[in-house]
Structure formats: structure tokens, C-alpha cells
Amino acid sequence: MIMKYSSIAIITGLLCGVFFSGCASKVPEYIRNAPAGDIHVNEVQQEAERFVDNKVRWGGSIISVQNLSEETHIEILSVKLNKSGKPLDDSKSSGRFIARIKGFLEPEEYPKNRHMTVTGSVNGLVEHPVGSYDYPYPVVDVDGYYLWPEETRQYPHHYYDPFYNPYFYPYPYWRRHPYYW
């Protein structure tokens, strides 16, 4: 009898392990785990010398991509990140920063308004014009980055039905609807 229950427990444990391993995140660990200390872009803009060589995890929407001879500069509008490092759409921006990545990145693969999260160390400030204003950009030497997949909006099934008419049933709608019969 004990042998029977122990084999059931082992099989159940294995099935749970297989099931939960399918739920594992595809986000790299260096993006999911924030470095110690929560440094914001606007803090670095005010006191850059204090934060040089500190590790940061910042993210937001891509503004532009510029390829140089040996590296790529990505200008990003920084927003708050959730606990797994994904930029939050509804949060207020804390400023802009430049992510400096070694090598060439195809600008078409990193389009404007796409979400990106980077980890690396603060290298200082660089001023570039935004309109007629000289804007102080914190520069991050990137150790790792993650371009978040585009999210597609899912609509309810009846939006795909060409013959769906929500006003087919006379008033009061809920009494004549087949779900309430």
C-alpha cells in the first residue's frame, strides 16, 4: 500500500515538474534580475560623476538607432520597469538615455517605439540637441539587452464573425440571448 502511494507521488511530482518547466520565462536572467540599488535616469542627469561605473537596468521605448564604425547607439525614452524588467506602458518617463552597444545592430530590427531593456554600467553624460534644447543623455555601456516582442491585441471571437450582430435580439437583450435560455 505504501509503495503504491509513493509511486503516485513520484509520478505526480514529475508531471508537475514538466508542466511548470513549460511556464518558464524566455526573458534572460540578467534582464529579470535588477542590480543592487535603484538608480534612475534623472538622478544620473543631475549628478553623473557620482554614478559612473554603477550597474543599472533601464528600459523604455526606442527613439532612434545610430550605427557608428564600431558600436551602435540606441536612444531610449526611459520608463519604469516591472519586476521582470519589462517597460510599463502607462508609466511616466524619467528621461532619455543612450545605450552604447558594441558592434552593428540592424536599425530595421530595432524600430521606433519598440520596447527594450538594457543592463550595463553608467559611463557619463553626453549632450545632444532635442529640438533647440541641449539635452544631457546618460550613457550606458551595455552588457546585455532584450528587445521585447511586439504585443498583438486579441479580440473576442465575435469580432471575427462576419455575421455577428449584437443588436439582433430585441430589448431587453439579456432575456432573449441564447446564453440565458
3-class secondary structure, 91: coil
Phi, psi of 10 (to 5 degrees): -65, -45
Q: How confident is the model at residue 120 (pLDDT cuts 50, 70, 90)?
A: very high
Residue among 140, 142, 137, 141 at smallest CA distance from 45: 137
- Encode pLDDT of 49-86 as tens digits: 999 999 999 999 999 999 999 999 999 999 999 989 99
Q: Taking the model in full, what pTM does it have? A: 0.71
- Residue 161's pLDDT is what? 62
Superfamily of domain 28-147: Nucleic acid-binding proteins (2.40.50.140)
pLDDT greater than 60 at residue 2: no
Q: In whole numbers, what is the pLDDT of the chain averaged over residues?
A: 82
Sketch the domain layout of the chain as residue ranges.
28-147
Residue among 61, 81, 65 at smallest CA distance from 73: 65
- Encode pLDDT of 4-58 as tens digits: 656 676 777 666 665 655 555 688 898 888 888 889 999 999 998 999 999 999 9
